[in-house]
Amino acid sequence: MDNKSEKFTFNPEEALKDFQAYLYERENAKATISKYVTDIRTFYKYLEGNYEIDKKCIVSYKEWLYPRYKAASINSMLVALNQFLEFWGLGRWKAKRLKVQKQLFIPEAKEMTKQDYKNLIEAARSRHNSQLAMSIETLAATGARVSELVFFTVESIKKGAITISNKGKHRTILISDGLKKKLLYYAAKNGITQGCIFITRNGKPKDRSNLWREMKALGIISKVPEQKIFPHNLRHLFARSYYKLTNDIAGLADLLGHSNLDVTRIYTANTAENYRKQIQRLGLVTG
């Protein structure tokens, strides 16, 4: 059948439910599944109740995204849509992602400094929120993802290493002696003798939304610009600090759990101002 005239009709909620089940069976991370579901709902919003689609509809949706989202966001949304199409046997309709020029510099407005980091911890302590302070310090001192905090158990902390198992991949997060001592003290002080040490009042592990909301609330007190305050920025701080100290990008990739060094280079990118200072030090501008 000609792709141009081929159409596919579906029930939106049933289709999304089946797609979720497929992603779960494929052992995608919960955060990935949640992101894909959100992106497919954005596609549904574009459809405006007309759930008969064709290749032309996919192309039009891509054009609809242009003025509304940044290129990187559009590409991530197209990845979700392409997975959705693949699941329904419509891989031939996949949308091509936008070509995005590699960003050479990180925005200075978003770079978290060590002083910003220390200010956040002090702000959390001033609010008597020892859990938030310890969570921030743990993420920055290990390079762990927020989703990996669930693996920080009393048992694994005592061993000085956290074993992460996700999507068939395994990696180890090493804990320094100083952090190990602080984490065990925190657990003992809060009566946590086993299992995950970062839990909510209901006994459930803290997730990204919990931590994001609590960190954002520290903005005014800490005097750290809001655009710098998000959990993943602590992982970037760890990466830049480690690389500056060791200049070992391969070792950093291992610590971050990256299989591709190009991904690691994103974490070690410098600001334009720092590059400008380095160029100035070359001494090639004559007096």
C-alpha–C-alpha distance, residues 197 and 195, integer Å: 6
pLDDT at 5: 66
pLDDT at 246: 84
Same fold, 8-93 and 108-276: no
Distances (CA, A) of 91 to 24, 53, 58, 138, 199: 20, 13, 12, 42, 41
Query: In CATH terms, is domain 8-93 a member of 1.10.150.130?
Result: yes
CATH superfamily of 108-276: Intergrase catalytic core (1.10.443.10)
pLDDT at 274: 67
pLDDT at 204: 85
**Mean pLDDT along residues 117-143:** 95
> Above 70 in pLDDT, residue 35?
yes
pLDDT at 168: 66
Q: How confident is the model at residue 100 (pLDDT cuts 50, 70, 90)?
A: confident
Cβ-in-10-Å burial (0-12, 13-18, 19+) of 93 comes to buried
Domain boundaries, the chain: 8-93, 108-276
Distances (CA, A) of 99 to 30, 96, 215, 263: 28, 9, 33, 17
pLDDT at 1: 43
- Nearest of 89, 105, 111, 69 to residue 10 by alpha carbon: 89
